Amino acid sequence: MSTLIQDHSNVHVRVGDASLPVYALTESGLDMDIKDAPLLRGFVLVFDGEQLLSEAYIDAVDEARGFLRYVCGRDTART
């Protein structure tokens, strides 16, 4: 199951100084448009605007239909 992010959403991943838009959040990770997404691996922070949603560790990347699906081995959601 995935949660599609609306076009006007500010959900993004921060890696170092880079801020990258997220297309969808899934139970196992997140999806990003292949043209916007580098091959990420390791620790990332997921934000909605300035609010931290989760800390995640990306274990694997899969490519499908123009998107990169990042699978998170550890995802700590913030409440």
pTM as predicted: 0.77
Q: Quickly state the pLDDT bin for 78 (edges 50, 70, 90).
A: low
Question: Nearest-CA neighbor of 67 among 19, 11, 22?
Answer: 22
Q: How many CB atoms lie within 10 A of CB 77?
A: 10
Answer whether 58's CB lies under 8 Å from 46's CB.
no
Q: What is the 3-state secondary structure (H, E, C) of 30-77?
A: EEEECCCCCCCCEEEEEEECCEEEEEEEEEEEEEECCEEEEEEEEEEE
Is 2 a residue whose pLDDT tops 60?
no
Give the pLDDT score at 79: 53
Q: What is the pLDDT of residues 5-59, one digit of tens each?
A: 555 478 899 888 888 999 888 888 889 988 877 878 888 899 989 999 888 888 8
